[in-house]
A and B are shown apart, each in its own frame.
Chain A
Amino acid sequence: MNDIRKIERDVNMANTKISARSVDVFYGETHAIRNVSVDIADRTVTAFIGPSGCGKSTFLRCLNRMNDTIETCRVTGDIELDGRDINARSVDAVQLRAQVGMVFQKPNPFPKSIYDNVAYGPKIHGMARNKAELDEIVEKALRRGAIWDEVKDRLHAPGTGLSGGQQQRLCIARAVATEPEVLLMDEPCSALDPIATAQVEELIDELRQDYAVVIVTHSMQQAARVSQKTAFFHLGDLVEYDDTDRIFTNPRDQRTESYITGRIG
């Protein structure tokens, strides 16, 4: 009995893709994230939930060092990807971001053709040796982004000409195209209709076979549907982090319960 437990824990340990310890984030004087520690498992969907302004996006952006690009932003604490400190000098932020892809809260396609949008990452990372390979990568990514059927006849039309929901799926395809190991998604479905949402959720479920996926969402149902782990943030604190089932059926903290039942937020 005891042995089995030990083995299970070992597997869990080996499974940890990202491990954050005592992370604090400041925007100038504002303390946006306070002492957050989280282990994000590989091949798992982790949902971040919490009221608006509680720091979900901020914490997500720590995981691929996007906060480096904000001059006023300061991050302290340890974040390890596969056991390697991502803030170490030896780690190249550019390389890291190719490994840890990101889909932003607002759809932000480049003002280029749909094809060039998706081919952007593969091109700068030299993933294709010729045009045919690139075509293949683009098609695969667009299919995974559940948008291929809608755009296959106009791959060379500008990506900005798509509807909001299509743009968001294009951005997902663009992020997937670089074959990241971790995919960070900041409210990927906030601009999508129920059908596209279902498609994206299906995609997330599929991505879980190979990647660690972290998704920020305001929809409890979505968190419950797609994620295995859920973290609840409140005012910069990580209040509770546990299996999704447990968070939604039997939360430990009073604040979590209030939030998921709709009393705060």
Chain B
Amino acid sequence: MTGFAFLLLLMAAILGYMLNRYAAQSVRAGGGRFHSLTGYHGMFSALLVLVPVLTIILAWLVLQGPLIDRMVMGGLPQGALQGLDTGGRQLVLAEIKSIAGGRVFGTPEDWKLAAADRLVALRETSGWLLVVVVAVLGLSIIAFARSRVSAGFRARQGVERIVSGLMIFCSTVAVFTTVGIILSLTFETYRFFQAVPVSEFLFGTNWEPQIPIRADQIAAEGAFGWLPVILGTMVITVVALVVAIPIGLLSAIYLNEFAPGRVRSVVKPVLEILAGVPTVVYGFFAILVVAPAIRSFGATIDIDVAPNTALAAGGVMGIMLIPFISSFADDALSAVPQAMRDGSLGLGATRGEMMTTVLFPAALPGIVGGILLAVSRAIGETMIVVMAAGLMARMTINPLDSVTTVTVQIVTLLIGDTSFDNPKTLAAFALGMMLFLVTLVINIFALRIVRKYREAYD
């Protein structure tokens, strides 16, 4: 039925388009200057039908499910639900639904069968109702749009208004999603802080998120101090950036300014392929190749190296970040006008001087943008560290030691059978929240710095 409704809508839109276009053409044939091209009149009608009716169909589909469920449950015989809690009611509803879907297990009670029939009937009615609504609404809108066709009607602006409304809607979707995610994080974090004091979380230097599952279980009290975890993230991020920033920037500068066209046309795509390698591949590159190499190198110069080092995870992550930094920097450098380069070279600067004194400052916002993106990626990167970093939280800044990161801890906290009202699980949300805040603060700071030092060209 829903498919039919969509088809109907499509046909209505096409019909509206044709009708209006045709009408506009015939008015035009009668002579007189037209404000809008005939196509705009058609588009106006089509969009006027599409946008509201599509909204109605979607809203209908979202709302009909819960509404029908309620009606079915409300229509059950007296006493059928006696003594059942929410979970039990859900089970009954699920059973009714599966009967309605034709999957009958055992011999259900008669009232369940009746309810299933009722469910099917309600769905049917809802579908027909939808089709009728679509048809009536569609036709009346078409009629309305048709009545507007005249030489003076500003269909062009009309179409633009509808489209700009659509664009506003799309951009609010992103905003609302973000707000929703932040709200849910905040809410769960708040619940976590009811179980664990804020000060312990923020300033504690111990991270051992074990919680007795049963009251009588013998287990250590959990400790939820996030400092060692975030410190681990920082260590790995710094290692990654130390690898990525120089390599990324220098290769961008080389490609942009010094490389002959042939080299550039080969190296640039290769760098972009690097960006397409899945992080899980980097992950096993880190554990199978880099970590053993560091360990055996450490052994030859008598340094004790942990099997899972921050250096291995961070170094490989740095390689992953190179293309981000280099392609952002390359774009930013390319965007600096040729006139700037000419001006500098014309005054007798070498290419290197031109790069450091003119191009680089002018491209700074773009370059910092790339680095910021890389920092955010490094802090939030999960797969490589899950595979190559450690699990034990330690207060250390030694990159040859094993550290754990915020993301690794979130993963381990949520793996396994845990219920959602246990501090251990909620701790994951608190960590997520902190991660979000840290990234936000870094972004704000960096934008400040860029605004202060940028040299805007126009």
By a beta-carbon cutoff of 8 Å, the part of chain A in contact with chain B is: 64, 66, 69, 71, 94-99, 101-102, 104, 106, 108-112, 120-121, 124-125, 158, 160, 171, 174-175, 178
How many angstroms between the C-alpha atoms of A69 and B353 in the bound complex?
15
B contact face: mostly helix, strand, loop, or mixed? helix
24 CB < 8 A contacts A-B: A64-B346, A66-B342, A66-B345, A69-B341, A69-B342, A95-B348, A97-B348, A99-B348, A104-B342, A108-B339, A108-B340, A110-B343, A111-B361, A111-B455, A112-B361, A120-B347, A120-B357, A121-B348, A124-B347, A124-B357, A125-B348, A160-B456, A174-B347, A178-B347
Contact between chains at A97 and B345 (CB < 8 Å): yes
> Which of B260, B339, B353 makes the CB contact (< 8 A) with A124?
B353
Q: Is the CB of A66 within 8 A of B346?
A: yes
With a CB–CB cut-off of 8 A, which chain A residues contact B457?
A: 110-111, 160
What is the bound-complex CA distance between A109 and B353, given in angstroms? Answer: 16
Complex-state Cα separation, A143 to B350, whole angstroms: 27
CB-CB under 8 A from A69, the residues of chain B are 341-342, 345
A111 to B339: give the CA distance in the assembly, Å: 12
Quick one: CB contact mask for B322-344 with A, threshold 8 Å, 1 for yes? 00000000000000010111111
Contact with A along B341-370 (1 / 0, CB 8 A): 111111111100100011001100000000
Q: Closest 8 CB pairs between A and B?
A: A98-B348, A108-B339, A111-B455, A102-B346, A97-B348, A121-B347, A111-B457, A108-B343
Q: How many A-B residue pairs have CB under 8 A?
A: 75
Task: Say yes or no: A94-B349 contact (C-beta < 8 A), given A104-B342, A111-B361.
Answer: yes
- Chain B min CB distance to A142 (Å): 15
In the bound complex, residues from chain A placing their C-beta under 8 Å from that of B342 are 66, 69, 104, 108
Known contacts A124-B357, A160-B457; is-contact A101 B339 (Cβ 8 Å): no
- Check B456–A110 contact: CB distance below 8 A: no
Are A111 and B456 CB-contacts (below 8 A) given A69-B341, A71-B261, A106-B339?
yes
Q: Smallest CB-CB separation from A65: which chain B residue? A: B345
B348 and A104 contacting across the interface, CB-CB below 8 Å: no
Q: Does B458 sit at the interface, judged by CB under 8 A?
A: yes
Q: Do B339 and A98 touch (CB < 8 A)?
A: no
Residues of A within 8 A of B349 (CB): 94, 120, 124
State the Cβ distance, A63 to closest chain B Cβ, in Å: 11
Complex Cα gap A110–B347 (Å): 12
Complex CA distance for A125 and B349, rounded to whole angstroms: 8
On whether the beta carbons of B362 and A111 are closer than 8 Å, the reply is: yes
Query: Complex: how many Å from CA A104 to CA B357?
Result: 19
